Amino acid sequence: MNPFRFYNPTQLVFGKDTVSELGSLVAPYGSSILLVYGGGSIKKTGLYDKVKEQLASIHATVHELSGIDPNPRLSSVEKGVQICRENGVQFILAVGGGSVIDAAKGIAAGVPYEGSVWDFCTRKAQVQKALPLGAILTLSATGTEMNGNAVITNWDLKQKRGMGSIHVYPRFSILDPTLTMTVSKEQTANGIVDMMSHVFEQYFSQTKDTPLQERLCESILQTVVENGETAVREPNNYEARANLMLCGTYALNGGMISVGMQNDWASHDIEHAISAIYDIAHGAGLSIVFPNWMKYVYNARIDRFVQYAVRVWGVDPAGKTDDEIALAGIQATRDFFTRIGAPATLSDVGIGDESLDVMAADAVRFGPLGSFRKLEQQDVRSILEMSL
């Protein structure tokens, strides 16, 4: 186990109808609120009205920024910063999935900063302070509801990059599993792949002597696998939705499950290079890339892949070589993704081989990827080829 710091000041408010606690949660932060949301589905479901009622009950002045897209755009973030500055906004409330919350984090960090929010993504600047923000989560996937990370896409540069700071942890996140019942089968599947991928990035690590962390990771993976197909098949199954919601949050909440472990994140970097060019869902990209990354790197620490196959997928090791066990676990991962309806190849999402070099070059723009096995541009290209 490596030395570590862990600090996660986000309050979770979990359960049916917890939106009714919104007013009291927001009130301490002020009365000028920026409400950030996506394409308007929250109006169809009635959530928008409930939020407005809650904010009216504390006599808040509400400014709105709607239309946040998946893979949230720098331009949306900049628009939000402008609204906040012009109106003296004191608190940002994000209502939606990962993209909406990530956009809110970018806005929160951007308001007190003189330069462009993109500076945080290119490491030109570090977030020194931010407006406080809170979230109501409507889609389980990214874990952004309980961490300090955000991913922003700059369409002018065709680049998708992450930023992170302790200052943009949501002060609270309202997690009502019933709000995720209207999420489509496809988005539910993408969310499942996303949360499992977050665990993979932490679990497939070269750090030794981390038995508790490995088990915590496996606990989430097993629970997602158990509940994932049910949630896709029965969208209104409360317990399946609740279990997935908790798994998604715990999978990436400031590193709680992987304290003292070196993380990898190569697969995410590869996926970001894909979805910066092709506007595909993050989870879909991960579903395509991750099992191929696994096949490409598993020999760098085969014991971890053997453990994964046996503990998470119940692969019977009797009479099998380590290679066979590891590959059976990787195949089980691919099969599960397919069972829940997630794509397996780039061609499944209409992507050909025309940009492999551009994507591989973009992925390693800041240097080789990952730590489980360090990947150079040629390695990334090979994984992309395996994904065609």
Task: Determine the Cα–Cα distance for residues 174 and 152; give it in Å rounded to an integer.
Answer: 23
Stretches 59-67, 116-124, 241-249, 282-290: which one binds its own copies (CB under 8 A)? 241-249
Examine residue 234 and tell whether it contacts its own copies (CB under 8 A): no
Give me the residues paired with residue 92 across strands.
34, 133
Examine residue 377 and tell whether it contacts its own copies (CB under 8 A): no
Examine residue 339 and tell whether it contacts its own copies (CB under 8 A): no
Site string for its own copies, 259-298 (x = CB under 8 A): xx--------------------------------------
Rg over alpha carbons for the chain, rounded to the nearest Å, is 20
Contact 168, 77 (CB under 8 A): no
Token pair 């080789």 in the structure block, residue: 368
Residue type, position 167, single letter = H
Examine residue 223 and tell whether it contacts its own copies (CB under 8 A): yes
Here the tokens at position 353 are 């081989």
Stretches 12-20, 126-134, 137-145, 380-388: which one binds its own copies (CB under 8 A)? 12-20
Here the tokens at position 383 are 């994984």
Token pair 């300090």 in the structure block, residue: 148
Task: Quote the least distance from Cβ 17 to its own copies, whole Å.
Answer: 8
- Alpha helices, DSSP H, located in 66-204: 74-87, 98-110, 118-121, 185-203
Task: Determine the Cα–Cα distance for residues 197 and 385; give it in Å rounded to an integer.
Answer: 20
Examine residue 216 and tell whether it contacts its own copies (CB under 8 A): yes
**Cβ count within 10 A of residue 129:** 12
Choosing from 26, 101, 130, 247, the residue that interacts with its own copies (CB under 8 A) is: 247
Task: Quote the least distance from Cβ 239 to its own copies, whole Å.
Answer: 4
Token pair 């961490």 in the structure block, residue: 147
Task: Determine the Cα–Cα distance for residues 267 and 203; give it in Å rounded to an integer.
Answer: 13
Choosing from 33, 151, 242, 383, the residue that interacts with its own copies (CB under 8 A) is: 242
**Length of the chain as a residue count:** 388
Examine residue 157 and tell whether it contacts its own copies (CB under 8 A): no
Examine residue 75 and tell whether it contacts its own copies (CB under 8 A): no
Choosing from 49, 53, 64, 209, the residue that interacts with its own copies (CB under 8 A) is: 209
Q: Per-residue b/e over 302-323, b at no fewer than 16 CB within 10 Å? A: eebbbbbbbbbbebeeeeeeee
Choosing from 9, 40, 88, 115, the residue that interacts with its own copies (CB under 8 A) is: 9
Stretches 3-11, 78-86, 103-111, 114-122: which one binds its own copies (CB under 8 A)? 3-11
Examine residue 317 and tell whether it contacts its own copies (CB under 8 A): no
By beta-carbon proximity to its own copies, the closer residue of 64 and 209 is 209
By beta-carbon proximity to its own copies, the closer residue of 9 and 88 is 9
Examine residue 13 and tell whether it contacts its own copies (CB under 8 A): yes
Task: Determine the Cα–Cα distance for residues 207 and 198; give it in Å rounded to an integer.
Answer: 17
Residue numbers at the binding site for its own copies (CB under 8 A): 1-16, 18, 209, 211-212, 215-216, 218-220, 222-223, 226-227, 239, 242-243, 246-247, 250, 256, 259-260
